[in-house]
Amino acid sequence: MRLPQETIRRKRDGGVLDADEIAAFVEGLTDGRVGEGQAAAFAMAVFLRGLSVPERVALTRAMTGSGTVLDWDLPGPVLDKHSTGGIGDAVSLVLAPMVAACGGYVPMISGRGLGHTGGTLDKLASIPGYDATPGLGRFREVVQRVGCAIIGQTDDLAPADRRLYAIRDVTGTVESLDLITASILAKKLAAGLDGLVMDVKQGSGAFMAGMAEARALAESIVAVAGGAGLRTVALVTDMDAPLASVAGNGIEVAYAIDYLTGRRREPRFHAVTLALGAEMLVAGGLVPAGQGLEKACAEASQRLDAALANGDGAETFARMVSALGGPSDLIDQPAKHLVSAPIVREVREPGTVESVATRAIGLAVIGLSGGRTRPQDGIDGRVGFSHLARPGNSDGLLGVVHAADESAADRAEAALRAAYRMGTAPLGRPAVLARIAG
- Catalytic residue, chosen from 61, 82, 382, 402, is 82
Query: Is-contact 382 340, C-beta < 8 A?
Result: yes
- Catalytic residue, chosen from 183, 261, 301, 322, is 183
User: What's the rounded Cα separation, in Å, for the pair 74 and 141?
Assistant: 11
State yes or no: is 81 an active-site residue: yes
Show the beta-strand stretches assigned E in 270-393.
Answer: 343-348, 352-356, 384-386
User: What's the rounded Cα separation, in Å, for the pair 56 and 191?
Assistant: 19
Q: Name residues whose C-beta falls within 8 Å of residue 368's C-beta, 6 or more positions apart in sequence.
A: 248, 380, 383, 384, 401, 402, 403, 404, 408, 411, 412
Query: Is-contact 423 354, C-beta < 8 A?
Result: yes
Show the beta-strand stretches assigned E in 84-131.
Answer: 106-110
Query: Is-contact 75 44, C-beta < 8 A?
Result: no
Q: Please, where are the H alpha helices in 310-404? A: 312-323, 334-337, 358-365
Question: How deeply is 102 buried, as exposed, middle or buried, from its count of CB atoms within 10 A (0-12, 13-18, 19+)?
Answer: buried
Residue 374's CB is within 10 A of a number of other CB atoms, namely: 8
State yes or no: is 120 an active-site residue: yes
State yes or no: is 13 an active-site residue: no
- Catalytic residue, chosen from 56, 81, 123, 390, is 81
State yes or no: is 332 an active-site residue: no
- Catalytic residue, chosen from 83, 261, 369, 386, is 83
Residue 110 amino acid letter: S
- Catalytic residue, chosen from 61, 123, 187, 303, is 187
State yes or no: is 168 an active-site residue: yes
State yes or no: is 187 an active-site residue: yes
Backbone φ, ψ for residue 183 (5° rounding)? -65, -50
Greatest Cα-to-Cα distance within the chain, rounded to the nearest angstrom: 65
State yes or no: is 336 an active-site residue: no
State yes or no: is 295 an active-site residue: no
Task: Give me the count of residues in the chain.
Answer: 438
- Catalytic residue, chosen from 61, 112, 116, 188, is 188
Output helix, strand, coil percentages for the chain, rounded to the nearest 5. Answer: 50, 15, 35
User: What's the rounded Cα separation, in Å, for the pair 54 and 282?
Assistant: 29
Q: Which helix (H) or strand (E) holds 270?
A: helix 267-283
User: What's the rounded Cα separation, in Å, for the pair 308 and 281?
Assistant: 15
- Catalytic residue, chosen from 168, 201, 359, 390, is 168
- Catalytic residue, chosen from 60, 66, 117, 120, is 120
- Catalytic residue, chosen from 60, 61, 80, 112, is 80
State yes or no: is 201 an active-site residue: no
Residue 68 amino acid letter: T
User: What's the rounded Cα separation, in Å, for the pair 115 and 438?
Assistant: 29
Which residues are part of the catalytic machinery? Answer: 80-83, 120, 168, 183, 187-188
